[in-house]
Amino acid sequence: MRKIFHFDSADAPYIADAAVLCCFDYRISTAVRKFLKKQNIERSDMIVVAGGAKTLASPRNDFEQDFILEQVRMSIRLHQSKRVLVMSHSDCATYGGLAYFKGDRAAEAAHHRAELLRAAELVSANFAGVSVEPYFVKFDGVWEIKAEKG
């Protein structure tokens, strides 16, 4: 092989601050990155797939859900992740976008809230001893989902 790019990466042993499941939609990537930093998550195992938390809450097939759970499992086992962030976002194409909710942002948020809680529950049921945190990313920022309300 032949080196075509030079860059020095940190090669110290790696312990992840969190495993982060989110959508690959580029529009939310900067918000997610800045939010993680604000959460003191400097180093994360990023599980970036179409739909993010949807792959756990409403998977297209069993393979998808198992594959993502396996990714989380490996982050916990190999990189000692103690936090698992599950995220979805507004106008996500895997849900048919905001158009699916006829432009009703409240209806969209309510739907995502239920999805995120289901995804978080699944992660909690599979992995004891990790903090599972569901978040909804909108175009104005990141919204925390609580099990009780909001």
H-helix or E-strand containing 47? strand 44-48
Report the residue number, 44 or 94, with the smaller CB distance to Zn ion: 94
For 19, counting Cβ atoms within 10 Å of its Cβ (0-12 exposed, 13-18 middle, 19+ buried), the class is buried
Nearest 5°: phi and psi at 12?
-65, 155
Report the residue number, 44 or 90, with the smaller CB distance to Zn ion: 90
Q: How far is the CB of 88 from Zn ion (least distance, A)?
A: 7
Report the residue number, 76 or 137, with the smaller CB distance to Zn ion: 137
Report the residue number, 45 or 91, with the smaller CB distance to Zn ion: 91
Q: How far is the CB of 139 from Zn ion (least distance, A)?
A: 12
Report the residue number, 76 or 92, with the smaller CB distance to Zn ion: 92
Q: How far is the CB of 7 from Zn ion (least distance, A)?
A: 29
Q: How far is the CB of 114 from Zn ion (least distance, A)?
A: 17
Q: How far is the CB of 90 from Zn ion (least distance, A)?
A: 9
For binding to Zn ion (CB under 5 A), which residues are involved?
23, 25, 92
